[in-house]
Amino acid sequence: MLTRKGYIESKNEQDADYIIINSCGFIEDALLETIEETIIISKLKKRSSKIILTGCAVNLYKDQFIKDLFEADYIFNYQDFYQFFEINSYENSIYRRLSDRKWEYLLISEGCSKKCTYCTIPLIKGKYRSFDMNQIIEEAKILKERRVEEIILISQDTAYYGLDHNINRKEHPLEKLIEKIYELGIEKIRILYFNLDSLEKGNEVELLEKIYSSKGVIPYFEIPFQHLVDGILKKMGRNINFETIDLILKSIKEKFNDSVIRTSIITGFPGETEKDYLLLKERLLKLPIDYLNVFAYCDMQKAPSYKLKNKVKSEIAVERRNDLINSFEETSKNRLKRFIGTEDEIYIEGEDENYYMGRIWSQTPDLDGLTYIYKDDKSKKIIELNKNNKVKVRILDTFFYDFYGEIL
């Protein structure tokens, strides 16, 4: 939006008239990084340059930043920022910068109306707001025109798309959106952050199967659980229990044989006992999960969980996180070895001295590792002759989340 207004982007702070720091305030480390980055940039910039601090951390701590962070010339929440530069928000515009990659993210909503006690997103982003479907489709058309082949639907909660509008419907609004995107010629649609809490109770399995059976949808289930012990889930404000989680995962594997499942877990949440943690670990290792993120709980003053009692020491939360990751990774090779011998068409997205790199369908950009293809005379010749960098590969081996393959 700024470049459309005539501004020129610079990678060098010495050339810039404005230096925009887009902050994150979701966890304490991100908040500290925001402050540190502002101080560092203030010492590197030219005297006339103005530092603009904006983003999520400002939405939470604007008054405190104004009081204490003198290094920033302007401290803007989202609306301040848009007004200052006289531009539209992403929410109200389909204009975007595109790269030459074959995949792109497509944001379908903003905000969240849930009351998860560990989360500050409702304070940062406001209540859940589904973007207008026609606007999303217009943006998808732009992506198709730029020859994007895979669209990745993202949101704070993709499963809730359209449900904030009280309308009578025979199908889930996300189904309709996916159908329209597929009709544009986008044959690969990936859904991230599909929150089970947002599905109609007692009807979760049926709704999930309908959505993921839609044409074009990759059977990649990114479903954040956060925990697997009912008592902790309740304290987290999650409206789900382990029995339902177990049932849904079993149904996914029965319905979608080639499915991939990713989740995230928080260790050390207030009230989590050693017994709770061991039960979490036991259950996690038995579930058909392929990819895992684990976060040690971080106390944030603005989050409702800040007021909870029986806090777990941060070093114990980190210790449990590391133990959970290590235990999971010990079994990851067995979990992913089913891909050995499979074939897929991929784009070569990068290379180093020894390997070409791409992704098979089960690997999401920036999340799940890469597929490496060793550079030899055969692969070099095929890549040189293949102008669009699309090749067919066979997977030969796995290493944690990475795959090693050969060009066919």
Side by side, the strands of the sheet bearing 350-351 are: 343-347, 390-399, 402-407, 371-374, 355-358, 350-351
**What is the tally of structural domains in the chain?**
3
Q: ∠ at Cα 190 (184, 191), nearest 5°?
A: 115
Domain boundary among 309, 335, 361: 335
Range of the domain at 367: 340-407
Q: Are 204 and 196 in contact (CB under 8 A)?
A: yes
Q: Are 267 and 118 in contact (CB under 8 A)?
A: no
Rounded Cα gap, residues 231 and 175, in angstroms: 33
- Whether 165 and 222 share a structural domain: yes
pLDDT attached to residue 99: 74
- Whether 161 and 306 share a structural domain: yes
Rounded Cα gap, residues 230 and 235, in angstroms: 9
- Whether 326 and 359 share a structural domain: no
- Whether 122 and 243 share a structural domain: yes
Q: Which residues of the chain have pLDDT under 70?
A: 94-96, 166-169, 387
- Whether 143 and 253 share a structural domain: yes
Spacing of C-alpha 165 from chain mean position: 24
Instruction: Kindly report the number of other CB atoms within 10 A of residue 96's CB atom.
Output: 14
Burial track 34-46 (b if 16+ CB lie within 10 A, e otherwise): bbebbeebbeebe
Burial track 315-348 (b if 16+ CB lie within 10 A, e otherwise): ebbbbbbeebbeebeeebeebbeebeeeebebbb
- Whether 232 and 101 share a structural domain: yes
Instruction: Measure Cα distances from 267 to 149, 223, 228, 232, 264 in Å.
Output: 37, 17, 11, 10, 10
- Whether 290 and 190 share a structural domain: yes
For every residue of 61-95, which 3-state class applies, written as one string?
A: HHHHHHHHCCCCCEECCHHHHHHHHCCCCHHHCCC
- Whether 36 and 135 share a structural domain: no
- Whether 142 and 222 share a structural domain: yes
CATH assignment of the domain containing 248: 3.80.30.20
- Whether 371 and 349 share a structural domain: yes
Instruction: Kindly report the number of other CB atoms within 10 A of residue 378's CB atom.
Output: 11
Task: Name the burial class of residue 228, with classes exposed (0-12), middle (13-18) and buried (19+) by CB atoms within 10 angstroms of its CB.
Answer: buried
Rounded Cα gap, residues 331 and 400, in angstroms: 9
Q: Are 158 and 189 in contact (CB under 8 A)?
A: no
Rounded Cα gap, residues 365 and 264, in angstroms: 16
Which of 218, 193, 194 has the alpha carbon at shortest distance from 204?
Answer: 194
- Whether 262 and 345 share a structural domain: no
pLDDT attached to residue 240: 93
pLDDT attached to residue 168: 62
Domain boundary among 279, 302, 335: 335
**3-state SS, residue 298:** coil
Rounded Cα gap, residues 348 and 173, in angstroms: 34
Rounded Cα gap, residues 288 and 250, in angstroms: 8
Instruction: Render pLDDT for 299-335 as a digit per residue (tens, 0 to 9).
Output: 888 899 999 999 999 999 999 999 999 999 888 778 8
Q: What is the dihedral of CA 365, 370, 373, 379, to 10 degrees?
A: 0
CATH assignment of the domain containing 359: 2.40.50.140
- Whether 76 and 194 share a structural domain: no
Instruction: Measure Cα distances from 271 to 197, 283, 286, 304, 352 in Å.
Output: 22, 18, 24, 14, 47
pLDDT attached to residue 169: 65
Domain boundary among 85, 100, 127: 85
